Amino acid sequence: MEHTTVSVDLAKSVFEIAVSTRPGRVTERHRLTRSGFARFFADRASSLVLLEACGTAHHWARELDRMGHKVLLLPPHRVRPHVTGNKTDRADAKALLEAYRDEDIRPVPVKSVLQQTLAAIHRLRSAWLRARTARINTLRGVLREFGIFIPVGSRQVVPAVLGLIEDADCPISDLLRPALWAACQEIRSYEANMLDAERQLKAAADQIPVVSRLLEIPGVGIITATALVAFVGNVERFRSARHFASYLGLTPRESSSGLRRRLGAISKRGDRYLRMLLTHGARATLRAARLKATPDRLRAWALIVEKRRGHNKAAIALANKLARIIWAVWKSGSGYREEALVS
């Protein structure tokens, strides 16, 4: 059983399993329930187990690792091209075996319980933020129908709406006021939940040494630092700073042939959430650089790029630079050193 490879198409309740003892050939197939799945691997000799990096994959990877199996998580978008014929559970399990033979496919690292916890808090916070934005936009749209326009800014909405509710002379009917009040309370509830999530991230960050070093980097706050720990995990898997920036989708998309090399806009591959956080951090750093009397070397460079190429391109260029700095600080174990501008 030394060379046995087992691929698993994960699901909520029914798992499809394909066992291979020879490359390119499936020797066993099983369709098991969740309890039967756990017993199947508990009774089996140590094997290589292939899973798609999808929902519950990290949990099962940790469980199988405790049972003595070696687990590899493969990215789903790289497994999909190996599905032949119709897409079924059996075809998906066979596709995992074929994808494993592709040396260009790199496994996804298994998240620890701490990483999974941080990622869950980030996802919940993002969900509350989206819901809050949706409620704010709904309130703005509803009130515009009555000729009421609220000033720009999310913080303006709830106080303005509550003021209108209390104003007996405003053109809002008494029938609508309770619904508007309920929407305002809902927005405040989302904001309270987001603040609690940020406090939990802050408390968790105090236990992770690398976070304090990442916080020294311009444009990196507690949200970005904990998100990096949650979604990246081990930075050692990236050979260079450029590989890390490429993983985040902050390097140019290439379309080259022969002697002609073409570099286009950023690829936007990789983790969208991390890329968004770094981009917002770069925008904040650019704004702070304009207000600083004597900017350091990094901020001075960003201002030069902004003057030459415009704000948006400068923000992305700075986000790329920040990603490379994060890689260097994280991997070296040393803190960020701000370099003064030499005139």
pLDDT tens, per residue, the chain with 343 residues: 457 899 999 998 899 999 999 888 899 999 999 889 999 999 889 999 999 999 899 999 999 999 999 999 999 999 999 998 899 999 999 999 999 999 999 999 999 999 999 999 999 999 999 999 999 999 999 999 999 999 888 999 999 999 999 998 888 999 999 999 999 999 999 999 999 999 999 999 988 999 999 999 999 999 999 999 999 988 999 999 999 999 999 998 888 888 888 888 888 888 999 999 999 999 999 999 988 878 889 999 999 999 999 999 999 999 999 999 999 999 998 888 887 765 5
The confidence score (pLDDT) of residue 342 equals 59
**Bridge partner list, 266:** 252
Helices (H), 209-310: 209-214, 222-231, 241-247, 272-291, 297-309
Give the pTM.
0.89
The confidence score (pLDDT) of residue 320 equals 95
Give the count of alpha carbons within 13 A of 139, CB side only. Answer: 32
Mean pLDDT of the chain: 92
Residue 208, classed as helix, strand or coil, is coil
Domain residue ranges of the chain, discontinuous segments joined by +: 5-100, 113-205, 209-332
Q: What value, to the nearest 5°, has the Cα angle with vertex 53 and ends 49 and 59? A: 70
How far apart are the C-alpha atoms of 202 and 223, rounded to whole Å? 9
Q: By the 8 A CB rule, do 263 and 303 touch?
A: no
Backbone φ, ψ for residue 293 (5° rounding): -65, -45
DSSP code per residue over 288-313: HHHH-SS--HHHHHHHHHHHHH-HHH
Q: Which CATH entry fits the domain spanning 5-100: 3.30.540.10, 3.30.499.10, 3.40.190.10, 3.30.420.40?
A: 3.30.420.40
Residue 233 falls in which region: left (phi positive, over 0), alpha (psi -120 to 50) or beta: left
Residues listed for the chain: 343
The confidence score (pLDDT) of residue 191 equals 97
Give the count of alpha carbons within 13 A of 51, CB side only. Answer: 26
Sign of torsion over alpha carbons 191, 194, 198, 200: positive
How far apart are the C-alpha atoms of 297 and 221, rounded to whole Å? 20
Backbone φ, ψ for residue 333 (5° rounding): 80, 5
**Bridge partner list, 148:** none
The label of the residue with tokens 């990622």 reads 119
What would the two tokens of residue 288 be? 């702070």
The label of the residue with tokens 């941080």 reads 118
Hey, what's the torsion of the CAs at 77, 80, 81, 85, to 10 degrees?
-160
